[in-house]
Every structure is written in C-alpha cells, then in structure tokens.
Homo-oligomer: A and B are copies of this chain.
Amino acid sequence: MDRRNEISIGTLAGRTGLAVSAIRYYETQGLVAPERNAGGQRRFLRSDIRRLSFVLIAQKFGFTLDRIREVLSRLPQGRTPTAKDWTEISQGFRAELDEQIEALTRLRNKLDGCIGCGCLSLDRCALYNPDDVAADKGAGPRYLMGDEAVRPEG
C-alpha cells in the first residue's frame, strides 16, 4: 500500500507503463533518485510519475538519456517541480526540437537537388558540407565520395 506521497516501484511502473527493470535502469542513469524504506525497497514520490513521463516523451523525440538527464537537472532541487517548472523546461526542449526538424528539412531539400540532376553527385550538393541532422551514433570519420564517384559510371 502506497502512503501519502510515497509509491513503490511497481506502482510507478503501472502509472508510466514502464517496466520495473527500466525504472531501475533509469535510476542508475541518474534520471530518478528514489529513497529507500526500512526494508531497503525504493520509495518514489508521486511527482516522479510526471518526471518519468517526461523522459518517455523526450525519448520519443529522439533525445538520449544523457541529454534528458541534463535537461532534468535544470529542475529545481529540493522541492517538487510545479507546473510552471515543467512548462519552462518543455520550452527549451521545444527549441531543440525545432532545430532538429529544420536540419532534417534542409537536408531533404538538398537531396531534392540531387534527385533533380539524377547524378546523385552528393559531394557537391547533399552531404559534402555536413548539415548534421543527428549527431553520429557510430564512431569513425564519415565523409562522402571522391571525384570519381561523382561521374555517372554506366
């Protein structure tokens, strides 16, 4: 039975739709910081429901857990976040989103040029000047095509 302002990991899982294992993982990543009861079990605050919901949404938009942790760190420490706190955080969040959409759109427009000329000469139009949409996930250098690649090669 969850008391006043404390809920168990199972209840939190039920409310957010997350798996219990995922919540534990989020704790290791610093996304939530539950206390423990006498028996060593985690006790979350009801406001953590909203906190984790925010995490889920941010993920839908493609943010990594690392970035989300940074964003959440802007929430006031020591007190339960208010609606206004969440509004402010969501706005900064939206700004980044806008950038992402714009970068993707710019890149798409460049691709149009390539499709138009039919040569797929991407060293000149699309990606030679990287217009980084999403930061590279894999490691290693990523540049595109040398001269010869440009010429149609029947």
Query: A residues bordering B, Cβ < 8 Å?
Result: 14-19, 22, 46-47, 49-50, 53-54, 56-57, 60-62, 80, 82-84, 86-87, 90-91, 93-94, 97-98, 100-101, 104-105, 107-108, 111-112, 114-115, 118-120, 122, 126-127, 133-134, 140-146, 148-149, 152-154
Nearest CB of B to A138, in Å: 8
Select from chain B the residue with minimum beta-carbon distance to A137: B59
Nearest CB of B to A137, in Å: 9
Which of B57, B91, B142 is in CB contact (< 8 Å) with A127? B57
Supposing A19-B140, A62-B134 touch, asked if A84 and B118 sit within 8 A by C-beta, the answer is: yes
Which of B100, B122, B133 is in CB contact (< 8 Å) with A53? B122
Given the complex, which residues of B lie within 8 Å of A17, measured CB to CB? Answer: 141-145
Supposing A16-B145, A140-B19, A154-B80 touch, asked if A133 and B91 sit within 8 A by C-beta, the answer is: no
